[in-house]
Amino acid sequence: AQSVTQLGSHVSVSEGALVLLRCNYSSSVPPYLFWYVQYPNQGLQLLLKYTSAATLVKGINGFEAEFKKSETSFHLTKPSAHMSDAAEYFCAVSGHNFNKFYFGSGTKLNVKP
């Protein structure tokens, strides 16, 4: 069985501040992990993915995430928030067949000027 938990349904940061969005996973098999972003009234866009290569994964728009097996975590970070980063972020886990994605409940990121 697989699942993800995103801590904090809302996160608010100031422009230029560090962004940290938390994701913890549960998986009975070595997981593949993903972060997706959803802008208002749009579909989900892939930010980055971990597929058992490098544990530190760099994605688009300056985001990165680190897979930590000991902590069962895959937190998303960005050193300096931009107003355009305001969106909903979803963490997801799948097995190696990619067929079933299990999504977290999402974290809404607000960026204050």
Partner 1 sequence: DTAVSQTPKYLVTQMGNDKSIKCEQNLGHDTMYWYKQDSKKFLKIMFSYNNKELIINETVPNRFSPKSPDKAHLNLHINSLELGDSAVYFCASSSYQETQYFGPGTRLLVL
2 or 77: CB nearest partner 1: 2
34 binds partner 1 (CB under 8 A): yes
Half-sphere exposure of 70 (CA within 13 A, CB side): 0
Least distance in angstroms from the C-beta of 103 to partner 1: 4
The residue type of 22 is R
88 binds partner 1 (CB under 8 A): yes
49 or 78: CB nearest partner 1: 49
98 binds partner 1 (CB under 8 A): yes
| Distance between CA atoms of residues 23 and 37, nearest Å | 14
Burial of 59 (0-12, 13-18, 19+ CB in 10 A): middle
70 or 99: CB nearest partner 1: 99
Among 3, 26, 84, 105, binds partner 1 (CB under 8 A): 105
| Distance between CA atoms of residues 24 and 5, nearest Å | 5
Q: In angstroms, what CA-CA distances link 53 with 4, 14, 26, 32?
A: 20, 33, 19, 10
Least distance in angstroms from the C-beta of 107 to partner 1: 9
Q: Which residues bind partner 1 (CB under 8 A)?
A: 34, 36, 41-46, 49, 88, 90, 96-103, 105-106, 108
